Amino acid sequence: MKRPAIEIHHARSMDPEVLRQLAAGIEEEGAPHEMAVHDGGTDAGTLAARGARSSMLLVAIGIADDGSCAVAHDSFPPGRPVLVEPGPLTPEAARRVGQNAARIVTQIPLSL
């Protein structure tokens, strides 16, 4: 059985430090997360929307091969992510994206 978590759908080629900082940002805000690896060829918005549909928390992060990143909520139309971070995603930006994804779940103001 799946547990409630923000799903992180990322390309296999992602820098481990970027993923670590993304997870740290989510954890700082008190939300759980799960990672899912994709072989590539899919844009960040599509990965995030796919994850949001399957997440019990309705929120997911997608990171494409080029390092671009999107945060999606299942209530938003496909192709309309809540947040977009152009690539390549840096560790600092990844931490902020993780924090904001968790803030969407906990319904507190985003830190932009």
**In Å, how far are 1, 2, 58 from 97, measured between CA atoms?**
27, 23, 16
In terms of Cβ atoms closer than 10 Å to its own Cβ (0-12, 13-18, 19+), residue 70 is: buried
pLDDT per residue as tens digits for the range 6-57: 999 998 889 999 999 999 999 999 999 999 998 877 899 999 999 999 999 9
pLDDT tier, 1 (very low <50, low <70, confident <90, very high otherwise):
low
What is the predicted pLDDT for the residue at 94?
A: 97
Residues in the chain: 112
Kindly report the backbone phi and psi dihedral angles of residue 53, in degrees, each rounded to the nearest multiple of 5, phi listed first: -65, -30
- Owner of token pair 């080029």: 66
Whole-model pTM: value is: 0.94
